[in-house]
Structure 1
Amino acid sequence: MLALVMARMIPAFQSPDEIMHLHRADMIANGQLLLEKPAPDASGHTGGYADLHLIRFATWMATITGNRKADVSPGWLMDEASRHGWANDRHFVDAAGTAYYLPLIYLPHATGLAISRHLDWSMRASYDFTRALVALTVLALLAWAWHLLPPNLLVRALVLMPMSAFQILSPTIDGLCIAMTLVLGGLAVAQYQAQCNGGTAAPCRWRYAAILGFTFVLVTSRTNLLPLLALPLLLLCQRFSWPRLGGFVLLCAASLGWTLFVLLTTMDERIERSHTTLQIVQIYLEDPLYFLGLVGSTLADKDKGYMLVYSFVGVLGWLDTLIPRPAMHGIWAVLAALALLATAYAGREERQYTLLRAVLTACAATSTLLAFFAIAVTWNDYPAQVISGVQGRYFIMPALLFALAIGPLEHQRTPVQQATEFGVSGAMAAYFLLVLAVTLYGRYQLAAF
């Protein structure tokens, strides 16, 4: 209920790339699973066909993004969206930025839009319903993840901080990826424990299959999460079987095949470059030290480095809605303190988890590097002085993997620990969500009711 109330403080299409995400979802709802060219021999962007009124709705809402000075208020625009229904007239739109994402990740979005169109709701009602459906899907996945593995305080803080909460409340794919990362982590820990303790074969089969499925969706929706393939590999090595080997080989083939397919078929000319994506990939693979130096230069850059730190916890909207700077410093202090606390609790557990922790840590570190790599080869030309376009929210999933790695992996908690976690979690939720609510109201002036 709190999520649905707070979502009403955010006007439509105010999350980064949300316009493309919902256009892609509308294409999928109408049966267009893959992007295409405007015409067989056309040059330009890869995209598809979306409803005309949905396109216009997104265009209206874009007038209040960034530093634009709109003549109308967000509330007026949302009210106007209540007056327009579905046009049932489809036009081609650019959606090249979503080409790398597996259509399956858009199932909640496409379902919401399809139901709304079938019931002939207004644009605002359709948007609100779709956003609610996506948010509830994320919360359901989080509930499952936390049932599998009760989250440590650092995981809770990363999910509750304003940047994560804002993405969970918005109909993009970030919230779904955050929740699925935690589900995958919980399944992997449960499977690892079962195999260490000689668990029965029946639950191991379905759990390993679920791990393969979630891994496939994640690595084909966020390319920088490809290192997550190491989790099912670890479980396979821990308890080998031919069916598991076949499933893992199929997972790798499907994941890498999808990535190669979209690299070869996507036309994205939003950035003028003298090299293609594949050419830049080859250059960096041949000279990895140059790429690592480029990452170091980006982090050392005064403006980009600071923006990465700030946007990890609270640069909302289209990079135009910043939480107060003291709040940003306070949230980072909380994250640092909880990281130390999680490590202290985890140190008391048995050494049987050492290998699992090492794999999770490696996945977090390599996913972080691949996030830089993905932006460097798709959004920058070569040569470059720094990597432009990197945002802090890209590192929330790697941070969650690191939080799982350094935190306690046992389910048991003493009464004192449970009371402490409950109190600290409540205080964090109150502070983080208050910062988010105040920031949103100050930016958009939209009341929750």
Structure 2
Amino acid sequence: MSEEMDFGSTMGVHTVVHLPQILRELVVMTDRLSGFRAKVVAAADAFCGMKWLWLLAALLALVWSLIIPPFKSVDEQDHVRRAYLLLRGQIMLETNSCTDGQPRCRNGRTMSGGYIDQGLENYLAFRERQNAEGAKITLSAEQEARKIMWAGHDVFATTPGTAYYFPLVYVPQTIGLGIGKALNIPVHFSYYLARIVTLISTALVLALAFRIYSPSFTNLAILLLPMSMFQVVSNSLDPFSSALSVLAIACFQRVMKSGQDTPRSVMILMASSLFVVATTRAHLISMLLLPFVGAWASRKKWVWVVASVTVFAVLVWMAVALPSAVDFRIQRAMTTGQVASAYLHDPAELIAVLNRTLSDYVTRVGYWMSFIGAFMGVPVPFVVYDVLSVLLGGIVLLSLAGPMEIRQALLARGALLLCGMSSIFLVFLALLVSWNDYPAQIINGVQGRYFLIPVMMVLLAVSRWSFPAGWRRALLVLLLWILFAFGFATITHRLLASYYMPWTAQNKLVLGKTRASQPLHPDSAIPVRFEKTAEALAPSVNRIGVLLATYQRKLTGQANIAFLSKDGAIVTRDFSLDDVRDNEYMYFDLPASNWVAAEIVLHAGESGLSVWEYEPAANPSSWQSCVSLMTEKRSRMVTSGCVGSQ
């Protein structure tokens, strides 16, 4: 017993003596385990973090660039023409002589434009006809498109919507078209080459912006939305101008953070970007306030000079370019200046039309859909918009800055908020005075994609400017990945289903054709047939859109449309011809029922209104009118073969 006690006592003394050493070894082992765990976490964070996400986004954007058919972005044809004119060295647009009575001819002169290669113009005409007919892409159609070569001689073409743009914004597209023409490859491949150069240029500008100042999660989320991804792979104005806007904002954040230590190169880069943005995106002209706020923060005279020179250069360009813009696509009783003057003298009417526009539910839904992602001829289920909106909302909520963060950069955040809100207002104002008659019931022509940069500035004003740490950062990264993956996967599926005919069916396919009905006259009505389209949604259709044609004219007068249900009920709706837009759906709200047909009659005003129809090649007598049917549960069906159908 005593020996056992002696042995235990000896062991106890030994343990006590060496306890500090044991503790030190435990601490070392814990540090090693912590270091290993930190490395694992860092590796996982790097794998799931921003660099991998942006690399994947760039690669998948390249995939979209190859699979999205040409000219599916709004007004993309005019932007390609403008890029080619820059290739010819033409900075300002011009008009050409024409014969009165011809389309788009007034007083013997055309609208603004320039001389385009005949081969390029043939390719544009081929694609415009294909898009207008709503035809899906087939192997035979692509083979026909690839045969169109550069002609080597030019013809005059109008592109009035781009008349006042400073052409430097088209440099990427110009480079791509120029390489294609120099190598004498088909116009088709030159177009795609221009797309790739534009995508690379946009990616490089965004990379420079992120290098100058780390982007917020809200900015990243907006740039990864389907609408942003879709536009970035087009040859339109949006990709490069949006990237330059992001670059200007990043430079502004860097200037406000640096203060008196502002790098000269950053300030000059911001001014150069803002000049191009302000001379191509009129609603973003309020961003010219940013360099002056930066000058106030830096307290340096040269910064004030740079800001002032930028504004002066923008004003000089506008003074030269705007008078040379000749655009009479929209027939109105008053000019843009007269409409602006009328609202200036009656601000109450301006407030009223803004209120009517923003209080209209259908209009708001249209803005929301076209901000998230609404594409030509691609029906997207409402649930996709709902999911993406929830994900975007979650990212915004998790990114909100605290009171202390806001106070620390109050001037900079206030400037961004002011620029963002004023840009949103300028979107409505610009479209109101340039695309609508006076007085307007609502403001037509506004698209959700116009709000990308303004919303980005508004969110920057209230969100964190640095990545948060801990669980918040992990959750934000996860939401960002889900938003991008869900949006890309669902929209890619819709793009392929909407734009392409399965190869297994192409050899057996005989396409029908779209046609315009006989124009509406006082002594004749237009029948609207859609009973086959309505079969899948009966009996809960409560909203019907009819695809109308005005032959590029602005009509005036009043008409009536009478809807007939399968059980014999009739509901009529009066509408103004002034509100009809060429090749767009006009929607009518109805009580839920099984609507199968309609008839349009003219009450007063001009004749010339038509309804688009689809005639199957196999059975021409079974033609159907082009309509968009919506149910109470927001399901949607479009006449097969028409614009917007699957």
Aligned partners of 1:212 and 1:248 also within 8 Å: yes
Q: 1:442 Cα deviation (Å)?
A: 1.5
Who is 1:45 aligned against?
Answer: 111
Aligned to 1:57: 123
- Select which of 69, 75, 88 maps to 1:17: 75
Pick the aligned partner of 2:489 from 424, 428, 434. Answer: 434
Cα-to-partner distance string for 1:192-245 (whole Å, 9 max, x where unaligned): 1000xx52xxx5211111111111111111000011011101011223333322
In structure 2, the partner of 1:103 is 167
Q: Percent identity among equivalent residues? A: 29
Match of 2:85 in 1: 27
Q: Distance in 2 between matches of 1:423 and 1:329?
A: 18
Cα-to-partner distance string for 1:54-79 (whole Å, 9 max, x where unaligned):
1111111123335x344x73554333
Q: Give the TM-score normalised by the residue count of structure 2.
A: 0.65
Candidates 283, 295, 300, aligned match of 2:342:
283
- Aligned equivalents of 1:18, 1:60: Cα separation in 2: 14
> In structure 1, how many angstroms separate the alpha carbons of the residues matched to 2:110 and 2:304?
41
Residue aligning to 1:365: 421
User: d(CA) in 2 for partners of 1:69 and 1:377?
Assistant: 31
Local SS of the residue matching 2:320: helix
- Tell me by how many angstroms 1:248 deviates: 1.9
- Deviation for aligned residue 1:258: 2.4
Alignment pair present for 1:151 and 2:215: yes
How far 1:292 moved relative to its partner? 2.8
Alignment of 1:133-212 (within 5 A): 133-195=197-259, 198-199=260-261, 204-212=263-271
Q: 1:348 to 1:431 in 2, by over 3 A?
A: farther
- Native 8 Å contact 2:431 2:446 kept in 1: yes
Kindly provide the amino acid, as one letter, of the partner of residue 369 in structure 1: F
Pick the structure with more helix per residue.
1
**Structure 2 counterpart of 1:329:** 386
How far off is 1:321 after superposition? 2.1
Residue by residue over 1:268-321, the C-alpha shift from the partner in whole angstroms, topping out at 9 and shown as x without a partner, is 01010111122222223333342232122112224322211211111113xx32
**Cα distance, 1:81 vs structure 2:** 2.3
Give structure 2 stretches of 5+ with no counterpart.
1-58, 99-106, 503-646
Q: CA deviation at 1:165?
A: 0.7
Please point out which of 464, 485, 500 is paired with 1:408: 464
The letter of the residue matching 2:158 is D
* Higher mean C-alpha displacement, 321-330 vs 357-366: 321-330
SS of the residue 1:291 aligns to: helix
| 1:375 counterpart residue number | 431
In 1, are the aligned partners of 2:255 and 2:298 still within 8 Å (CA)? no
- Is this contact kept in 1: 2:395–2:479, CA < 8 A? no
Superposed, 1:82-121 pairs within 5 Å as: 82-121=146-185
Decide whether aligned partners of structure 1 residues 413 and 335 sit closer, same or farther in structure 2, where only a CA change above 3 A counts: closer
1:400 alignment partner AA? M
Within 5 A, what are the aligned runs for 1:231-250? Answer: 231-250=290-309
CA-to-aligned-CA distance 1:398-447 (integer Å, 9 cap, x gap): 1111122222123x643545433432222221111112211211211279
Tell me what 1:122 maps to. Answer: 186
Q: Tell me which residue corresponds to 1:356.
A: 412
Q: Distance in 2 between matches of 1:263 and 1:289?
A: 28
* C-alpha separation in 2, matches of 1:86 and 1:187: 41
Structure 1 residues 264 and 279: alpha-carbon distance in aligned structure 2, compared to 1, 3 A threshold: farther
Per the alignment, residue 566 of structure 2 pairs with none
**Alpha-carbon distance in structure 2 between the residues aligned to 1:167 and 1:437:** 14
**How many pairs align?**
436
Q: Partners in 2 of 1:421 and 1:348 — Cα distance? A: 21
**CA contact 2:146–2:186 (8 Å) conserved in 1:** yes
Moved more, 418-427 or 219-228: 418-427
Aligned to 1:3: 61
Return 5+ residue gaps in structure 1 as ranges.
none
Aligned to 1:312: 371
Give the Cα–Cα distance (whole angstroms) in 2 for the partners of residues 420 and 348 of structure 1: 22
Amino acid corresponding to residue 383 of structure 1 in structure 2: P
SS of equivalent residue, structure 1 residue 385: coil
- 1:64–1:74 contact (8 Å) kept in structure 2: no
Deviation at 1:164, TM superposition (A): 0.9
Three-state SS of the structure 2 residue aligned to 1:49 is strand
- Aligned equivalents of 2:138 and 2:418: distance in 1? 43
Structure 1 residues 353 and 265, CA gap change in structure 2 (3 angstroms): same
Q: Which segment is superposed worse, 151-160 or 110-119? A: 151-160
| 1:298 and 2:362 matched | no
Cα distance in 2 for residues equivalent to 1:32 and 1:154: 39
1:23: how far off? Answer: 0.6
Is the 8 Å Cα contact of residues 11 and 78 (structure 1) preserved in structure 2? no
Do the aligned residues in 1 keep the contact of 2:388 with 2:483 (CA within 8 Å)?
no
Deviations 1:123-142 (A, max 9, x none): 12101110000011111112
Based on CA coordinates, which of the two structures has the bigger radius of gyration? 2
User: Which structure is higher in strand share?
Assistant: 2
In 1, the alpha carbon distance for the partners of 2:391 and 2:454 equals 18
Q: Distance in 1 between matches of 2:481 and 2:151?
A: 45
CA distance in 1 between counterparts of 2:412 and 2:462 reads 10
- Give the aligned residue type for 2:320: F
So what's the TM-score if we normalise by structure 1?
0.92
1:270 aligns with 329
Which amino acid is the alignment partner of residue 211 of structure 1? M
- The answer to whether the 8 A contact 1:312-1:391 is kept is yes
Alpha carbons 1:3, 1:169 under 8 Å: kept? yes
> How far apart, CA to CA, are the structure 2 residues paired with 1:20 and 1:43?
19
